[in-house]
Amino acid sequence: MKFKTAKGLAAVVMVGSFVAAMLPSVASAGTSAGKPDVSATTFTTSFSTMKTLKGLVTKGNTSKTPKVAFIVPDTTTSARYDDFDIPFMKDAFKAAGMPSKDVIIQNGEGSDNVFYTDAVADVANHAGVLIIDPEDSTVGAAVEAYAAAHGVKVIDYDRLTLGGERAYYVSFNGVTVGTQQGNGLLACITAWNVKTPHVLVMFGSPTDNNATLFADGYDAVLKAAGYSPGEGTPGSANTTNESVGTWTASQALTDFEGLYTANPSINAVLTPNDENAGPIIAYLQNKGLPPDTIPFTGQDATIAGFQNIISGYQCGTVYKPIFEEASAAAALSIYIRSNTKPPHALVNSSTVDSGQSISKFKNVPSVLLTSTWVTTSNIESTVIAQKFLTAASICTSQSPTVTGQTLPTFAADCTKYGIH
């Protein structure tokens, strides 16, 4: 398999006004007696763990204590940010007793300039901790260089900024995500009785380190299963094609149309997330594709993704309990803000910044969480049980539009799989 690696990009320090940094360095000692029991596995939908951090929040509440800013990338590459990350982040801080005036939440709206400008403004507005999830490492490294120059700590959220200068990284294990997608696709190929599999691998954005980690996972799975890269002869078994890579759904569809036209033998598709899979599935449905024919993978556990799953067009989706990720990042920021070293049970791993030549920042202390591959068999016990989505939101009466076919409604599909 061909492994794609996002290139590390040098940070560019931009000149701006500076409000004196008010953040003390993190103490080497752990929390004092009565310390909260916080680990990477204790976060719940009730935010009970966050409630144990109220003492640290109180400790940090002085007239000179810095604020915490959270900046998400956009509203287009995934609906998760506005639907889940931001609400869960607010809930986590609220449960910990964090004053709302000390929390800044923004959306970069897909613009590197807006993202960077927001970060600079946050530093001027007395933010001592930035939790950032930029679309690519260029702007992320620039933000982190600016923050470091002004004494502000940064937490990389969901994706690692290559060549950056962050204090911590919080995410789900990206290689595990890719492994789950690869195994899910292979299981679907078998279950759907796909003959002479010719897999199309749709890479995520090449500027996103997460996409590289996902590829490390699914490439290893496909290689171990005997799949080989290359154009392949139409009808030949166990071959793959790869797209250039994007998180923009419309571009993913354009890429697919070109590759599928050139290689009509493609009969299984590893799509990196639900958003990229959706328009491609709709395109094939409009061409009369019946269910249980060409398997797709997904990620982010979206409503549309689950509707494609229960109607027989998508194998499954990687579910990330985002309340865990938001809570972990919020908890870390509270430890930093109160000048307290976070426990080893929370910072449970280390991640190598492959784009960083400065050894000082190469191994990044990390909170790595575990994702779950969700299919029709465990929707009820995962996303619905944890109130990530409701059955009602998935089980609408609307049915897919498929040329020349009458398919069951989503409500009927939910009845079939016991989703309620």
Query: pLDDT tens for residues 304-327?
Result: 999 999 999 999 999 999 999 999
Q: Is the pLDDT of residue 349 over 50?
A: yes
Q: Is the pLDDT of residue 32 over 80?
A: no
Q: Is the separation of the CB atoms in 170 and 158 below 8 Å?
A: yes
Query: pLDDT tens for residues 268-289?
Result: 999 999 999 999 999 999 999 9
Angle at 325 between CA 158 and CA 152, to 5 degrees: 65
Instruction: Tell me whether the CATH fold assigned to 48-173+321-370 matches the one assigned to 175-319+373-416.
Output: yes
Strand partners, 155: 131, 168
Q: How many CA atoms are closer than 13 Å to the CA of 327, on its beta-carbon side?
A: 26
CA distance linking residue 120 with residue 275, whole number of Å? 31
What's the average model confidence in pLDDT over 392-399? 90
Q: How far is CA 334 from the centre of its chain?
A: 22
**pTM over the 0.75 mark:** yes
How high is the mean pLDDT of the chain? Answer: 87
> What is the residue extent of each domain of the chain?
48-173+321-370, 175-319+373-416
Crossing angle for the helix pair 137-149 and 112-124, to the nearest 10 degrees: 20
Which residue in 190, 192, 383, 133 sits closest to 274, CA to CA? Answer: 383
Crossing angle for the helix pair 274-285 and 249-262, to the nearest 10 degrees: 50
Q: Is the separation of the CB atoms in 338 and 104 below 8 Å?
A: no
Higher-pLDDT residue of 12, 406: 406
Q: Which residue has the tokens 């994706």?
A: 159
Q: Is the pLDDT of residue 93 over 60?
A: yes
Least confident of 109-113, 114-118, 321-325: 109-113
Q: By percentage, how much of the chain surpasses pLDDT 90?
A: 74
| CATH architecture of the domain formed by 48-173+321-370 | 3-Layer(aba) Sandwich (3.40)
Q: What is the pLDDT of residue 224?
A: 93
According to the CATH classification, is domain 175-319+373-416 in 3.30.470.30?
A: no
CA distance linking residue 260 with residue 146, whole number of Å? 44
